[in-house]
Structures are given as C-alpha cells and as structure tokens.
C-alpha cells in the first residue's frame, strides 16, 4: 500500500508541474539601451543607488509591488536650456522583447510636445496642451484650464523648463498582465515639493499630495503611445545614497500600460490535456493496484 500511495503522489506532483507551466506569464527581457544620455540605478536596501554596471534586465524585472531599480532616459534634461531642447531631436531609448514582440521605450523630444512646427501656444492642438490641462486639473487648478490663467501658467511652466523635465522617464519595470503590457515609472510620490518652488505664486495653489509622472513614448507591435499618470503608489524606495542622492526621488511608483496589445502564449496542453491524462493515469493506477491486492 505505501508503494501505491507513492505512485499516486508522484502522478499528482507531475500534474501540478504541468499546470504551473501552462499558466506561466509572458516574459520580458533582452533589454538594451540606445544613446548615452541615461543613468542606471540599482537597489541597496531601501535606497536606489547609481550603478553604471547594473544588469538592465534585472533592473527592469520588478512589478508594482517591488519596483526595484530604474533606468533614467534623457538624464541631462534638467540641464538643457529651452532653446537647446527645442533644437534637439535626440532620444534615449530602451528596447527589449516582451511576449515575443519588440518593445521600445523612449524619452520625449520637443516635437512630441509641440508638433513638427514647434507650436508653443497654449490651447494649440498639441500634446503639450492636452498634458498640461491634465496637470492643472490634477494639481487642483482646474479653473485655469482654457483661459488666461492657464496661458500664464503654461508659459511659466515652459519658461522654467517644465516640459523637458517631464521628458526624462525613469523606467523601473516592464511586465505583463493578461493582454496588457505594464510599465513602471519611478518618480516623486509628492510632486508639489518639486514644482511649487519653481512656479512662484502659482506653486502655492498646487494641492497637497499632487502626483504626476514623467512621460514615456512606448512603441510595441505597431502601437505607439505617450504614456503618463497622475496617480502613484509608494515604492518603498528613495534615492537616498551615493552621488546625486536627494532623499526624495523614486519614492513614487506610477504604473502606465498599453492595453490589449499582448497576445497570450498558446496553452501548453494538447487535446486531451496532459494534466488531465496524468491525473487519470494516477487515479487509474491506484484503482488497478487496489484490485490486484483484492484478488491476491
């Protein structure tokens, strides 16, 4: 009888193994960087730390519960003048394979914000107007949208280099959930403390707890979108150690997504399913052995 039980348990363990393989999520990896204007951050305890030698695939292997390190694209954005930003078409990108297709995540250029004509007018049909209206609304200044106050705020934001500051996403992870491709953006959990001092009197109007991510350009299997979020969760990390540490960066995790773009891998099971067959074999073997014992 102990031998019969052992055979049954072995069959059950194989069934469990096959089932686990069949439900494995789509994997992401083989990432590489294009351009030299980036910074790689690894993790040490609860701190993110600069590490130029960090393994990029490992850096991007986290999820919303454990974002890990990140790679900052277009790292020199805050040092550029407006004229230099407007004149440059340079991008920094990270490219890898997700669910068998190529994903490219890039920093933004001025043409992404203002179009090929670089129309910097508030209210123009540009991404800059769309994004800034969302910025105002989520910052508690929805009454500024579409009027002279919005124009003043837009021009001040542009003048302080706000758009290029929002063009350097920190990519913290790439993963999938069903047919959705999920991307983590590391940022400030409390954005007011960053922007309020730069906006002068307008900064005092920003609501407490305001959150805003930077923007990433995502291209995957023919789908291209500019992704951003005004809602963060706490990452459990802070850029609090080493060169450039400020004690507050990377504290927020902003998850953005390309929805419905991932083709789930085909099921491993054939017809009939191997897990079902193995289960039947295990149970059948148990009853066959039992009948043999009864005849003995």
Residue 94 β-bridge partners: 33, 105
How confident is the model over 7-57, as pLDDT tens digits?
Answer: 434 444 434 444 443 334 556 779 999 999 999 999 999 999 999 999 999
Please report, in angstroms and rounded to a whole number, the separation of the first and last CA atoms in the chain.
Answer: 13
Would you state the pLDDT for residue 165? 94
- Of 87-96, 197-206, 208-217, 249-258, minimum mean pLDDT range: 197-206
Residue 271 has pLDDT above 90, yes or no: no
Domains of the chain, residue spans: 1-24+272-296, 25-258
Would you state the pLDDT for residue 277? 46
Task: Please state, rounded to an integer, the average pLDDT across all residues of the chain.
Answer: 85
What's the rounded Cα separation, in Å, for the pair 131 and 134?
5
What's the rounded Cα separation, in Å, for the pair 247 and 174?
25
Mean pLDDT on 126-147: 97
What's the rounded Cα separation, in Å, for the pair 21 and 247?
42
Would you state the pLDDT for residue 86? 96
How confident is the model over 63-96, as pLDDT tens digits?
Answer: 999 999 999 999 999 899 999 999 999 999 999 9
- 228 alpha carbon, distance to own chain's centre: 10
Sequence-distant (6+) residues with CB within 8 A of 292 are none
What's the rounded Cα separation, in Å, for the pair 170 and 186?
5
Would you state the pLDDT for residue 90? 94
Kindly state the tokens that stand for 277.
Answer: 């067959």
Mean pLDDT on 212-226: 97
Nearest to 189 by CA among 164, 210, 203, 205: 210
Residue spans of beta strands (DSSP E) within 74-154: 93-98, 101-106
What's the rounded Cα separation, in Å, for the pair 272 and 277?
7
Would you state the pLDDT for residue 195? 80
Would you state the pLDDT for residue 221? 93
pTM of this structure: 0.81
Nearest to 171 by CA among 260, 44, 25, 62: 62
């Amino acid at each position: 009888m102990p031998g019969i039980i052992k055979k049954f348990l072995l069959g059950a363990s194989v069934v469990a193994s096959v089932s686990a393989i069949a439900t494995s999520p789509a994997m992401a990896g083989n990432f590489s960087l294009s351009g030299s204007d980036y910074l790689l951050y690894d993790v040490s305890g609860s701190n993110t730390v600069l590490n130029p030698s960090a393994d990029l695939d490992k850096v991007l292997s986290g999820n919303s519960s454990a974002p890990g390190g990140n790679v900052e694209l277009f790292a020199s954005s805050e040092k550029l003048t407006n004229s230099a930003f407007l004149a440059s078409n340079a991008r920094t990108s990270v490219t890898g394979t997700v669910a068998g297709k190529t994903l490219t995540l890039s920093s933004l250029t001025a043409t992404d914000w203002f179009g090929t004509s670089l129309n910097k007018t508030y209210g123009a049909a540009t991404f800059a107007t769309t994004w800034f209206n969302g910025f105002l609304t989520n910052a508690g200044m929805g009454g500024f949208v579409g009027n002279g106050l919005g124009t003043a705020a837009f021009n001040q934001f542009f003048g302080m280099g706000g758009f290029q500051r929002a063009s350097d996403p920190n990519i913290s992870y790439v993963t999938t959930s069903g047919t959705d491709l999920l991307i983590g953006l590391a940022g400030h959990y409390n954005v007011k403390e960053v922007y309020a001092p730069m906006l002068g009197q307008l900064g005092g109007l920003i609501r407490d707890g305001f959150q805003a991510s930077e923007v990433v350009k995502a291209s995957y299997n023919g789908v291209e979108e500019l992704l951003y979020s005004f809602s963060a969760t706490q990452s459990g990390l802070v850029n609090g150690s080493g060169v450039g540490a400020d004690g507050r960066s990377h504290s927020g995790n902003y998850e953005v997504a390309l929805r419905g773009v991932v083709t789930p891998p085909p099921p491993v099971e054939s017809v009939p399913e191997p897990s079902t067959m193995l289960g039947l074999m295990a149970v059948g073997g148990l009853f066959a052995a039992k009948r043999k014992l009864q005849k003995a």
